[in-house]
Amino acid sequence: MAEARVGLRTADDSKSSWAVKGAGTPSFEAKYRVRGSDVTPDLTLRFDSVARFLQDVATDDLAASSFGSTDPYWIVRRTIIDVLEPIAWPGAVSLERWCSGLSTRWANMRVRIVEMPEINAFNPAPRRPGVIETESFWINVNVSGFPARISDEGFRHLSVGAPEERLRWQSMNSGAPAEQPSVDALQEREHVIRATDFDPFGHVNNSAYWAVVEDELTEHPDIRTGPHRAVIEYLKPVTPDSRIMLRRRRVSDRLSLWLLVNDTVVATVVVTKG
């Protein structure tokens, strides 16, 4: 059975906190192929690929809804990705999406991703189906990009079965540490933005931020040896003339990343193992 979670407060909250989705809660389902371009060299699905699936199912869900014309613009403020069992190539994935909480201007949207594994010459051994649980905090905006009230029809649709109708934003990640050296700090580095990272609004697409995470995890492969969680919070848009600097810290099973432009934090990421 698909599940839903509400009331999260920190990036280290237990992954067992996914509660059962109500039987009367409407959901949208879609299936997509996992391609070779979606995976790491060890054939597991990358975080940026998960983010693209989440964008695709959100777009398809909105197009099929009764409020796609009245509430066409949404931006994501936070995405939580719990890799419970890794998804690999080749195969397909089934996504189920529903609302787990909302207010008049934003909504938490849950997506459960379940793999339908296949085999080929690159990955011939049978494997268990992968499972990834996600939740994203979406803000309804107007054509100028400012938060706007969800339409009556949109609120009616999203609130059916949602356990929370007074959802409030509360950050799960901590603010950036000072730049001074510390035992657990890693050297600050630049992340180079590519022309392909930008969306039709002229901002770095939310899935492109995950390339930073993938780069960092090559130096911390142990985090992915079992179940792991990643939480990204988007704080400010990044434009083509920006220079992103990355501040990093590893403490035990927790990797924290802060993306800065002109010393202002534009996004935060926490990846935890276990």
Q: 10-residue block means of pLDDT along the chain (274 residues)? A: 40 60 89 98 97 98 95 97 98 97 96 97 96 98 94 95 91 79 75 93 93 96 96 96 94 96 96 95
Q: Are residues 93 and 213 in the same domain?
A: no
Task: Give the H or E element holding residue 57.
Answer: helix 47-64
263 within some domain: yes
Distance from C-alpha of 235 to C-alpha of 232, rounded to nearest angstrom? 10
The domain boundary residue, chosen from 159, 177, 194: 159
Half-sphere exposure of 71 (CA within 13 A, CB side): 29
Exposed (0-12), middle (13-18) or buried (19+): which is 22, by Cβ within 10 Å? middle
269 within some domain: yes
Q: Are residues 135 and 192 in the same domain?
A: no
175 within some domain: no
- Phi and psi at 52, nearest 5°, equal -65, -40
Q: Are residues 84 and 191 in the same domain?
A: no
Q: Are residues 129 and 43 in the same domain?
A: yes
Tell me if 117 sits within 8 A of 127, measured CB to CB. yes
177 within some domain: no
Q: What pLDDT is recorded for position 125?
A: 95
β-sheet bridge partners, residue 273:
228
Contacts of 26 (CB under 8 A, 6+ apart): 98, 157, 160, 161
Q: Residue 90 gets which letter from DSSP?
A: S
Q: What pLDDT is recorded for position 10?
A: 57
Q: Are residues 60 and 150 in the same domain?
A: yes
Q: What pLDDT is recorded for position 9?
A: 47
Q: Are residues 249 and 136 in the same domain?
A: no
Q: Are residues 47 and 101 in the same domain?
A: yes
Q: What pLDDT is recorded for position 16?
A: 47
- Phi and psi at 173, nearest 5°, equal -100, 155
Domain residues for the domain of 75 are: 3-159
Q: Are residues 17 and 150 in the same domain?
A: yes
Residue 261 maps to which CATH number?
3.10.129.10
179 within some domain: no
56 within some domain: yes
Q: Are residues 52 and 92 in the same domain?
A: yes
- Token digits for 59? 């777009």
202 within some domain: yes
Number of domains in the chain: 2
Distance from C-alpha of 56 to C-alpha of 53, rounded to nearest angstrom? 5
Q: What pLDDT is recorded for position 37?
A: 97
Distance from C-alpha of 60 to C-alpha of 38, rounded to nearest angstrom? 20
β-sheet bridge partners, residue 245:
190, 260
The domain boundary residue, chosen from 125, 159, 193: 159
Q: What is the pTM of this model?
A: 0.91
Q: Are residues 133 and 64 in the same domain?
A: yes
Alpha-carbon separation of residue 159 from 4, 98, 110 (angstroms): 14, 10, 13
Q: What pLDDT is recorded for position 3?
A: 36
Q: What pLDDT is recorded for position 180?
A: 57
Q: Are residues 119 and 193 in the same domain?
A: no
Q: Are residues 114 and 211 in the same domain?
A: no
62 within some domain: yes
